[in-house]
Amino acid sequence: MRIVLVSRIDGNEALRYTAALAHDLKALGHGVTFEAGTAERLGKEGVAFEEITGDLVVIIGGDGSVLLTVHRMRKQVPVLGINWGEVGFLADLEPEEADAFFAAHRDGFSVERRMRISLYTGGRYLGDALNEAVIVTERPAKMLRFGVYVDGVASERFRADGLLISTPTGSTAYAMSAGGPIVDPKIEGFLLIPLAPYMLSSRPHLISTERNLEVSLETEKPAHLVIDGQSTFELERKARVTIRRSDDPALFVDIGKPFFEKVNYKLRNL
């Protein structure tokens, strides 16, 4: 297989592990290259995120490293995360499990497709989110007024510090911290969670991706839209954001661990 290695670069231990993993993968007969930032720290040649191709991308890092990689790849390649972070809901393998996994999967692996959401405003494409997009005020301690439209019908209006639009995959991330439910990633839906709403009656919604979903800003206050913590856009006053299921899902290696077993383990070991 052709494998690209991506490492977090803020610590030498992760880089040393990445170099050792590259040696082991080559010994198994795989072709190995490095992402450009990782390669620079290791003194090797590398490939930019946008130019990554091949059979597999192995990411040594936390969820932020996985989100960065998926966000910046021009063409989605199957990814496998080795947890070198705090919790790692998106990083399925622990470092001590990696050698056994690769030895048992020399000839390939199964892939799980994870829904992403595409975001537009004023007909302009902003990007795709694997975890979430969040709309927040540009000025701290100021509330925004939102309108939610489902199939063209106003379903709710509320005031809140912000609004989080999550995928099922993102339900174990920011959405969970904001009081949202854990959603099976096999369900395809948009999870909307008001952030610190003014009225307690403003509750999370899970909306089918078969429906047309739009969110409008109904105040004059400036706001930002942040996609997976990677890209930030300034929204115009009275902006309307359209949310759709992306035609380009993220691809994750299925390591054979049931989703809810993984969630239970992660939550009990925070």
| Percent of residues, the chain, with pLDDT higher than 70 | 100
Each residue of 24-58: pLDDT tens digit? Answer: 999 999 999 999 999 999 999 999 999 999 999 99
Pair 25, 127 in one domain:
no
Residue 183's pLDDT is 96
Let me know if 63 is a catalytic residue.
yes
Output the pTM of the full model.
0.92
Residue partners of 197: CB distance under 8 A and separation at least 6: 158, 159, 160
Q: How confident is the model at residue 270 (pLDDT cuts 50, 70, 90)?
A: low
Q: For the domain that residue 179 is a member of, what is the CATH number?
A: 2.60.200.30
Pair 211, 263 in one domain:
no
Each residue of 54-99: pLDDT tens digit? Answer: 999 999 999 999 999 999 999 999 999 999 977 788 998 999 999 9
Pair 80, 11 in one domain:
yes
Pair 102, 125 in one domain:
no
Pair 123, 238 in one domain:
yes
Residue 237's pLDDT is 87
The number of folded domains in the chain is 2
Pair 142, 216 in one domain:
yes
Q: Is 262 helix (H, G, I), strand (E, B) or coil?
A: helix
Q: Which domain holds residue 138?
A: 117-245
- Average pLDDT of the chain is 94
Pair 11, 110 in one domain:
yes
Strand boundaries in the chain, DSSP class E = 2-7, 31-35, 46-47, 56-61, 79-83, 111-114, 117-121, 124-129, 132-137, 144-150, 153-160, 162-166, 189-195, 205-208, 213-217, 223-227, 231-235, 240-245, 250-253
Q: For the domain that residue 60 is a member of, what is the CATH number?
A: 3.40.50.10330
Pair 17, 107 in one domain:
yes
Pair 189, 258 in one domain:
no
Question: If phi over 0 gives left and psi between -120 and 50 gives alpha, with beta otherwise, what is residue 32?
Answer: beta
Pair 128, 35 in one domain:
no
Pair 122, 103 in one domain:
no
CB 82 within 8 A of CB 99: no
Which stretch of DSSP H or E encloses residue 118?
strand 117-121
Catalytic residue (choose from 24, 63, 184, 254)? 63
Pair 50, 138 in one domain:
no
